[in-house]
Amino acid sequence: MKVKTRLIVAFFVILLVPFLMFSIAFMGFTRYQLQAIEESYGVPISWDSLSDSMQVIGKSTEKIFEQLKAQANADPDFFLDRTYLEQVNLGMTEQTSYLLVRKGKDLYYNGSGEDISRLFAELPAFREFASASDGGSYIGKDVKAFVKQLDVEFSDGTEGSVFIISSTKRLIKQTRILLRDLVISVVVIMFFTAALLTIWIYTGINTPLRKLSEATERIKNEDFDFELNETGKDEISELCRDFDEMRKRLKTQAEEKETFDRQSKELISNISHDLKTPITAVKGYVEGIMDGVADTPEKMDRYIRTIYVKANDMDRLINELTFYSKIDTNRIPYNFNRINVTEYFDDCADDVGLDLREREIKFSYINTVDPDTRIIADAEQLTRVMNNIIGNSIKYMDKPKQEIQIRVKDVGDFIQVEIEDNGKGIPTKELVTVFDRFYRTDASRNSAQGGSGIGLSIVKKIIEDHGGRIWANSKLGEGTTMCFVIRKYQEVPAK
């Protein structure tokens, strides 16, 4: 789950869960407290009636007040009978109420058994207040009592009042307990809701972050052999997947660097080996000249020619190494021009044929391309391609009668060049790697074949930079055909 979604869920959970749980707690505590108040005052209680506490107290003594009112109409002097008053007062104990009787201005009966001088002083005067059966008046100040007043006239003509006094302390106490319980429940609910949401959000973020931290530590130690398998759709999981993608690239780069270092060492070894052979030969022939071994003009000419050939071999190796460095930095110098295919490959065949005939290699050249066909190419680099391919063919000739053929064909929008030899061939499984750097069909290499192993990789780079493609066909023991195509140049008609 995304962090944004988690926060939205957390927001609504913070709003809804406490509300729902508080509602449940409110209903539970209210029901409990209302039941306690009902038991205390003996009247059915609802939340509406609880909000008017005086109404609750008034209803709790409603029946007793009606009885007293009926008695007052029948015989007021009953309120002078203390035994009767005791019985009535005892019936109001459960409602936390008691009875007072005032005769004239004096207190005749006190059902509380306590000092009520302050209360008595605050009581309403005769006929000052007429109470309903479910109503009364509240006396605040230090008294805090609910009073129902019933005025009577005794037989002796004295004015009197019967009061039902109800204490509000118990109801207020129970209401306070209810409010306290509700406040505590709100605090507890909010605490646990916040704690659970914090744990949920923390776990969802911390777990992938911890994996990222461990992965960072492993990468710092150049350990790339692990995976971050995060399948979630949240931002942290996406970050983990991006991090794992970076790890894969770093691993690939590390492997490529290791391969490059190994190939560079192999290149240095190959070049060193290939340079050592002509240098040794040059030194030997120079020493022969210095020692007077070449004592005839024919020997001297042969020695000098040999030294020249070996020097050319060294120059070729150095040029190849220099060109290889330009490939790595992508700084091959190209000079593209429109080239007539027939003229270029005819000249190339003349140069190649002369060298091959000197080596006693049978050479043939076939060109079926229209004489006006042209391509956009760098003639110098294209010559390098031809020389490298043919040089590679010569290197792996293993038959007494050696042959090389060059064919130039028209294949639609491209011209295709094929260079076929009858050498020892390349195994089929190695055809896909023959253009890789440092590839060698003879891994053990020998001084007769030599080579740096980068010639065909240079060829592939040049052809691809010309917008073409190169591949090889070969049969082991029969020979190899190197093929490459270059797009023909076509004039775009002016509009």
Other C-beta atoms closer than 10 Å to the C-beta of 79 total 25
Which sequence spans correspond to the domains of the chain? 3-51+174-204, 53-167, 335-487
The interaxial angle of helices 53-60 and 169-220, nearest 10 deg, is 140
- pLDDT score for 445: 41
Q: What's the CA gap between 375 and 338, in Å, rounded?
A: 6
- pLDDT score for 375: 94
- pLDDT score for 469: 94
Between the alpha carbon of residue 267 and those of residues 121, 253, 261, 488, the distances in Å are 120, 20, 10, 36
Beta bridge partners of 337: 377
User: What is the token pair recorded at 386?
Assistant: 């031809």
pLDDT tens string, the chain, 495 residues long: the values are 565 666 666 666 766 676 677 677 666 656 655 565 555 555 455 545 455 455 566 677 778 888 888 888 888 888 888 888 888 888 776 657 888 899 888 889 988 878 888 888 888 888 877 766 566 777 766 667 788 888 888 888 899 988 888 776 665 666 666 677 777 777 777 777 777 777 777 777 777 778 788 888 888 888 878 777 776 676 777 777 888 888 888 888 888 888 777 767 776 776 676 677 788 888 888 888 888 888 888 888 888 988 888 888 788 777 777 766 666 666 677 889 999 999 999 999 998 988 888 888 999 999 999 999 999 999 988 998 998 899 888 888 888 899 999 999 999 999 999 999 998 888 888 888 888 765 555 544 444 444 556 778 888 989 999 999 999 999 988 899 999 999 998 876 655
Q: What's the CA gap between 98 and 95, in Å, rounded?
A: 9
Other C-beta atoms closer than 10 Å to the C-beta of 109 total 21
Between the alpha carbon of residue 305 and those of residues 312, 417, 448, 449, the distances in Å are 11, 33, 19, 21
- pLDDT score for 391: 87
Rg of the chain over all Cα atoms, to the nearest angstrom: 57
Supply the pTM of this predicted model: 0.47
CATH architecture observed for domain 53-167: 2-Layer Sandwich (3.30)
Tell me yes or no: is domain 335-487 CATH 3.30.565.10. Answer: yes
- pLDDT score for 386: 92
Q: What's the CA gap between 103 and 89, in Å, rounded?
A: 17
Query: Using an 8 Å Cβ cutoff, are 454 and 395 in contact?
Result: no
Beta bridge partners of 415: 410, 486
**Closest of 472, 391, 397, 490 to residue 435, by C-alpha:** 472
- pLDDT score for 452: 52
- HSE-CB of 128 using CA atoms within 13 angstroms: 11
**Closest of 44, 157, 162, 33 to residue 101, by C-alpha:** 162
Query: Using an 8 Å Cβ cutoff, are 193 and 17 in contact?
Result: yes
User: What is the token pair recorded at 180?
Assistant: 């306290």
- pLDDT score for 94: 64
Angle, vertex CA 148, rays to CA 143 and CA 150, nearest 5: 130
**Closest of 314, 323, 316, 382 to residue 347, by C-alpha:** 382
Between the alpha carbon of residue 141 and those of residues 29, 56, 119, 138, 152, the distances in Å are 30, 20, 10, 10, 27
Query: Using an 8 Å Cβ cutoff, are 143 and 119 in contact?
Result: yes
CA 301, 302, 306, 307 torsion-angle sign: negative
User: What is the token pair recorded at 42?
Assistant: 């003996």
**Closest of 127, 126, 124 to residue 147, by C-alpha:** 124
- pLDDT score for 444: 42
Between the alpha carbon of residue 463 and those of residues 174, 219, 470, 483, the distances in Å are 97, 38, 7, 11
DSSP state for residue 378 in the 8-state scheme: -
- pLDDT score for 449: 46
Instruction: Give the list of residues 6+ apart from residue 255 with CB closer than 8 angstroms, or none.
Output: none
Query: Using an 8 Å Cβ cutoff, are 165 and 119 in contact?
Result: yes
DSSP state for residue 124 in the 8-state scheme: P
